[in-house]
Structure 1
Amino acid sequence: MADDRPQHRIAKLLARAGVASRREVERTIEEGRVALDGVALTTPATVLRSLHGVTVDGQPVAAPEPARLFLFHKPTGVLTTERDPAGRPTIYDRLPKDLPRLVPVGRLDLNTEGLLLLTTDGGLKRQLELPSTGVERTYRARAYGQVSQQQLEDLIDGIEIEGVRYGSIDANLERRTGANVWVEMTLREGKNREVRRVLEHLGLRVSRLIRVRYGPFVLGDLPVGGVGEVRVADLVAFRQALKTAAPNRPATPDVSVAGRFGAAVF
């Protein structure tokens, strides 16, 4: 009987199985660490229907398990990457060693702290990262300088800075503390250093940046360096909400989904 399963590039299959991100998988293949039926693969463009016979570092790759999603309170001073050539600490140095193989959803800069989502599923990672999905991210920034609420409200129409167009940002002035202000910003694109660049364009110098929400998942009182796992029912509800969201409507589920969120803390 013919095998009618769709074919996919091996990098995609390995990422879905939680081995690593696509980029990291491609690097692993280039290093000759991935083999099919004992023969090292030379290109990530290899197309397969399954991971049967595939090994990484000599170990068979297990069939992907149901997706799992974790919350991590990333501290400042650690990189969102697996390894750093300069030897700087990464999130994997801070994560508990008994967790499954996890890949980060997006990135937080070295000096940005707060909520970082981690998942075992490469497909879920991409779904959460795509700007077209419209998942909201909320940040709190402490910055030196002066800004008006009207200047922040004008960001709702988006802004162009040095040729880069940033989409609609819902920004509010939380409070002033001496020469500093606290600003809350919610956005959906999450371009590289977007919050810092927008605030710097407004004449502010950011001294602390914390991500407090990603979709319905909130940082809450998770301690710095702490990890929590999203309950299966909440993850299923969230993924269903992403699938049914209208193309031009934010894909963040209703508050009821966020209200049901729960996590087992490690």
Structure 2
Amino acid sequence: MALLEVKNIYKSFGGVKAIQNFSIEANAGEIHGIIGPNGAGKTTIFNTISGVYTADQGTVLLDGQDITKLEQYKITRLGMGRTFQNIRLFKGLTVQENVMCAFDPQSRYNILGGLLPTPKRRAEEKRGRELCEKYLEIVGMQDYLQERPENLSYGMQRRIEIARALMCEPKILLLDEPAAGLNPTEVAELTELIQRISQQIGFGILLIEHRLELVMSISHMIHVQNFGETIAVGTPEEVQHNPQVIEAYLGKEE
């Protein structure tokens, strides 16, 4: 059984078929790229898998558990983390505080601990700070704990977002266009980072990205979407030579 199993999901908005019969299986240590032109339904796939939307049909299994109709916060607790196309860091909070926000669902103290500084609560806060420092070190941002994200470069903010997603201690990590807005040097650094966290932590990664050089260089398998449909699934080499993929990106020869 795969760590993540998405089986034949559909999602429509009125008369628009955003996802039609999408399936994917991902295991620990694998990176799966999802590519396609604008409007192909890629982010809708992530939103449906992670509980922002509920699939009209089909099932989503995370580590064998059916999460198809669960609320988003419950899916996160079961082991799914994600980032978004648009950076969603909190202005006015430090880097450390932004990352620590994602630790709250993982905290192991009761209502009393939320009201009073009990020993259990203090222990959990210490554990949260240690995890925060661990993941910020992994993404190379350990020296910016007390900085405000809005004062940092776009590439650094992307790394902070990834660290915050890691704080959920996911089994599956969804990265939605993590290279958007980055310069070539930052894209190369991000590519190395994604590979490294996949190897070090060993979870499955689903990656939506328009930078094809990034997707092609690190993905084990690639799913190509067009107008809500999957038009190709295969290795990077197979996908690059698929006539339907070439047509979707470059148009049909006259």
Global fold match (TM > 0.5): no
More strand by share: 1
More helix by share: 2
TM-score, reference length from structure 1: 0.28
TM-score, reference length from structure 2: 0.29
Q: Name the larger-Rg structure.
A: 1
